[in-house]
Amino acid sequence: MKPFMISICALTLGFSSGASMAYQVDAAQQALAKEYRGQWHLEDQAIQKKLSQLKSQNGRPNIIMILTDDIGWGELGSYGGGKLRGTPTPNLDTLAADGMKFLQHYAEPSCTPTRAALMTGRLPIRTGLDEVLFPGQIKGLVAEEYTLAELLSDAGYRTAMFGKWHMGEQAQHQPTNQGFDYALYTMFNGGVWPWSENAEYYDPKNETIGEVPYTLDMPKDYKQQTGIIIHGIQESRKGEKPREIGKLTLERYNVHEQELTEGILDFVEDNAKKDDPFFVYWASNANQVFFCPPEERNEKYVDKANCQASQLAQHDKNVKRLRDKLEQLDIAKNTLVIWVSDNGPMYQFFPSAGFSYLRGQKHQVYEGGVRTPAIAWWPGVINAGQDPLDLVHVTDWYTTIAQIAGANKNMPGKRIIDGVDQVSLLFNGEGYSRRNYVFHYEYKFFNKNAGSRLAAVRWNNTKLHLKQPVEIYNIMRDPKEEFSMRPNYLWAVIPLRKMIYEHQNMMEKFPNRKIIETAGSALAY
């Protein structure tokens, strides 16, 4: 590849209105845009023609973004798991077979950062939302960030969010203050659900297979001692104050995925024939470790000792219900469905856990922590049976969806957008990704002075772990990162160092947002 350029420039993209819009990209993307300018220009012309044809036939497409929890690379049947792993996923496997299954899709190493990356198209280090949030924290997704929902809402989409929000509990952080017209959601991950029941949740006589006795050691007067409120299930509409419609309990959790699905199906049906398209963000509350839906738990091939397996089986059936609804309403051909996992498995609660064939887990930047399954399905537009090796990062969905929705004109121009437009990959197939690099950050929690750090960089098939001693792997040859080959990769030292320096130089030009928590407030700048 040609040397990377330090000079700041903007990548100019076309969109369906015929105008153009410039927004800031990172140095590595600037270099690729310069090298492939002519090729990408021709591809974009063909893409715009196709998008215009699709719009004239069916109107602008509906978009459904499904984000799941802790499902590793190797969990789904289509990724080598399925019933072999005690996690049968026949409907997700069919979705993958009928669309595009990504073999090298990357997320952030934990849940809040991935959600922030998806919603902003920016690395979490840039937004300040770079750690997993827990009840009582003041920080969250600040109003100054411009979310995917805001981008689409401003472009005329009707927007709704269902599931696990996990990006802050203050008023400005809430989904209906971040671009969604409607939201049915919970604030935090599944681990918080038992907090409402605190010590009463622990049953030392419970001998049910897979249900690990879960001692919280949590005082029943937790709220009185700490002042922290455990928010329940929330429902809100734009312009209205959220209202709590249910508490977090074990019994409710086992059926909450069904409640979310019913809400999604109702929203889709209500909006299917309206003039304006819709955007649904389904952040599934399934695939946590503590609860076992009894019906799915007893199904054939489901590992009864793994609560996450029964939740995945439940989610798999609900994805089929959504697909069936789209086909029943005859809008599948005009609906892009994207399904991804937010990070790798969390093994701390094994056997109630996800799985990856790759080294590492949630919170780590080894492949098992950040490489996740991902599927894109759009019948008649995305050709079936594809499994590209191209690199894709979760931030790319922001920019890609903006292009597909004709919303490029709404993208902010005074900040770095890390997401790469991958419409050419979706339309043209393997070999058309516009990314050959990924920056992997490791996020801190307990030590506020430690901060997040750049922990690994992937460039083509070479991946460098920035630790002592450094580790460097050929990810194609060694996807499990078992054989560090430092002497073999001395040739990569300078190119990788330049990539890192230029990435950091861009952060000096466009400083990262800082969110500093105090005892009772958060300062963002």
Could you read off the pLDDT of 206-232 as tens digits, one per residue?
444 444 445 567 777 788 888 888 899
Instruction: Give, in order, the Cα–Cα distances in Å from 94 to each of 65, 131, 464.
Output: 17, 34, 35
More confident of the two residues 196 and 168: 168
What does the pLDDT average to over 428-434? Answer: 98
Confidence at residue 11, expressed as pLDDT on a 0 to 100 scale:
39
How far apart (Å, rounded) are the C-alpha atoms in residues 514 and 488? 39
> Bridge partners of 336?
63
More confident of the two residues 54 and 20: 54
Please give the tally of structural domains in the chain: 2
How far apart (Å, rounded) are the C-alpha atoms in residues 30 and 9? 7
Same domain, 70 and 120: yes
In a domain, 267, yes or no: yes
Instruction: Give, in order, the Cα–Cα distances in Å from 507 to each of 52, 140, 416, 502.
Output: 36, 21, 9, 9
pLDDT class of 523 with cuts at 50, 70, 90: low
pLDDT digits (tens, 9 = 90+) for 252-291: 888 899 999 999 999 999 999 899 999 999 999 887 776 7
Task: Return the closest-CA partner of residue 16 out of 155, 133, 186.
Answer: 155
DSSP at 121: S
Same domain, 416 and 487: no
The residue written with tokens 């309403």 in the block is 329
Average pLDDT, the chain: 89
3-state class of 44 per DSSP?
A: helix
Domain that holds residue 212: 52-434
233-237 and 515-517 as β-strands: parallel, antiparallel, unpaired? unpaired
Same domain, 484 and 336: no
Tell me which long-range contacts 232-236 makes (C-beta under 8 A, separation of at least 24). Answer: 232/186, 232/196, 233/184, 233/185, 233/186, 234/174, 234/183, 234/184, 234/185, 234/186, 234/187, 235/183, 235/184, 235/185, 236/174, 236/175, 236/176, 236/182, 236/183, 236/185
Same domain, 208 and 355: yes
What would the two tokens of residue 25 be?
A: 């990209």
In a domain, 44, yes or no: no
How far apart (Å, rounded) are the C-alpha atoms in residues 135 and 388? 39
pLDDT digits (tens, 9 = 90+) for 104-141: 999 999 999 999 999 999 999 999 999 999 999 899 99
Exposure b/e, 360-392, CB count within 10 A at least 16 = b: bbbbbbbbbbbbbbbbbbbbebbeeebebebbb
In a domain, 6, yes or no: no
What would the two tokens of residue 383 be?
A: 């050709």
Same domain, 240 and 203: yes
In a domain, 45, yes or no: no
Confidence at residue 2, expressed as pLDDT on a 0 to 100 scale:
29
How far apart (Å, rounded) are the C-alpha atoms in residues 169 and 140? 7
Confidence at residue 210, expressed as pLDDT on a 0 to 100 scale:
43
Are 360 and 344 in contact by the 8 Å Cβ rule? The answer is: yes
Same domain, 374 and 516: no
In a domain, 27, yes or no: no
pTM: 0.93
Residue 64: Cβ-neighbour burial (10 angstroms; 0-12, 13-18, 19+): buried
Same domain, 407 and 496: no
Are 460 and 470 in contact by the 8 Å Cβ rule? The answer is: no
Task: Return the closest-CA partner of residue 425 out of 103, 8, 124.
Answer: 103
Amino acid (1-letter code) at residue 422: Q
In a domain, 347, yes or no: yes
In a domain, 31, yes or no: no
Confidence at residue 518, expressed as pLDDT on a 0 to 100 scale:
63
**Final residue of a structural domain among 386, 410, 434:** 434
Cis peptide before 109 (omega within 30 of 0): no
Same domain, 222 and 176: yes
Same domain, 248 and 336: yes
Task: Return the closest-CA partner of residue 179 out of 65, 26, 268.
Answer: 65
Which of 8-12, 304-308, 469-473 tops mean pLDDT?
Answer: 469-473
Q: What percent of the chain has pLDDT over 90?
A: 75
**Final residue of a structural domain among 406, 434, 462:** 434
Q: What's the order of all strands across the beta sheet hosting 471-474?
A: 437-442, 453-459, 462-465, 471-474
**Final residue of a structural domain among 383, 410, 434:** 434
Same domain, 340 and 424: yes
Sequence-ordered strand ranges (E) for 5-45: 10-14, 20-24
What does the pLDDT average to over 42-47? Answer: 97
What does the pLDDT average to over 476-480? Answer: 97
Element (DSSP H or E) covering residue 332? none
Same domain, 390 and 359: yes
What does the pLDDT average to over 165-193? Answer: 94
In a domain, 30, yes or no: no
| Residue 91's CATH number | 3.40.720.10
How far apart (Å, rounded) are the C-alpha atoms in residues 57 and 296? 41
Are 344 and 73 in contact by the 8 Å Cβ rule? The answer is: yes
Same domain, 402 and 459: no
> Bridge partners of 163?
185, 283
